[in-house]
Structure 1
Amino acid sequence: MARQIVPSRSFHRLLTSRHYPLASPAPPLRPILLPKALSRATAAATPQLPRRGRRPVVAASASAPAPSSSETEAVPGAWGKVSAVLFDMDGVLCNSEEPSRCAAVDVFAEMGVDVTVDDFIPFTGTGEANFLGGVARVKGVKDFSTESAKKRFFEIYLDKYAKPNSGIGFPGALELIMECKNAGLKVAVASSADRVKVDANLAAAGLPVSLFDAIVSADAFENLKPAPDIFLAASKNLGVDTNEVIYLANHMHNPFMTR
Structure 2
Amino acid sequence: MAHKVQAVIFDLDGTLIDYEGASHEALEAPLLRRDKALSWDLHGKIVGTKTEDWSRTILQDVSMDPGALTPEAYVQEYLEEIKALYSKIPAWPGTLPLLRALKKAGFPMAIATSSPRISFDEKMKHHQEILDLMDAVVTGDEVARGKPAPDIFEEAARRLDRDSRRCVVFEGSPLGIAGGQAAGCLTAALPDPRFPENARRLEELRPTWMLTGGISDFKPDDLRLDCED
**TM-score calculated relative to the size of structure 2:** 0.71
Distance of 2:94 and 2:145 partners within structure 1: 31
Say whether 1:191 aligns with 2:113. Answer: yes
Corresponding position of 2:153? 231
Contact 1:94 1:201 in 2 (8 A): no
Contact 1:132 1:150 in 2 (8 A): yes
Which structure has the larger Rg?
A: 1
Cα deviation for residue 167 of structure 1 reads 4.9
Amino acid at match of 1:140: S
Cα deviation for residue 117 of structure 1 reads 3.9
Contact 2:143 2:151 in 1 (8 A): yes
Cα deviation for residue 208 of structure 1 reads 4.6
Cα 1:110–1:207 shift into 2, 3 Å: farther
Amino acid at match of 1:162: Y
Give RMSD over aligned pairs. 2.0
Cα 1:225–1:191 shift into 2, 3 Å: same
Question: After TM superposition, where is structure 1 displaced by more than 6 Å over at least 4 residues in a row?
Answer: none
Gaps of 5+ in 2: 182-201, 207-229
Report the secondary structure of 2:32's partner residue: helix
Say whether 1:156 aligns with 2:89. Answer: no
Gaps of 5+ in 1: 1-16, 20-80
Distance of 1:250 and 1:221 partners within structure 2: 20
**How many percent of aligned residue pairs carry the same amino acid?**
26
Cα 1:231–1:244 shift into 2, 3 Å: same
2:165 to 243, 246, 254: 243
Contact 2:55 2:72 in 1 (8 A): no
- Structure with more relative contact order (C-alpha pairs < 8 Å, separation 6 or more): 1
Q: How many residues align?
A: 179
Cα 1:18–1:127 shift into 2, 3 Å: farther
Cα 1:167–1:224 shift into 2, 3 Å: closer
For residues 49-106 of structure 1, the C-alpha deviation after alignment (integer angstroms, 9 at most, x for no partner) is xxxxxxxxxxxxxxxxxxxxxxxxxxxxxxxx12210011111101001211111001
Report the secondary structure of 1:189's partner residue: strand
Distance of 2:134 and 2:127 partners within structure 1: 14
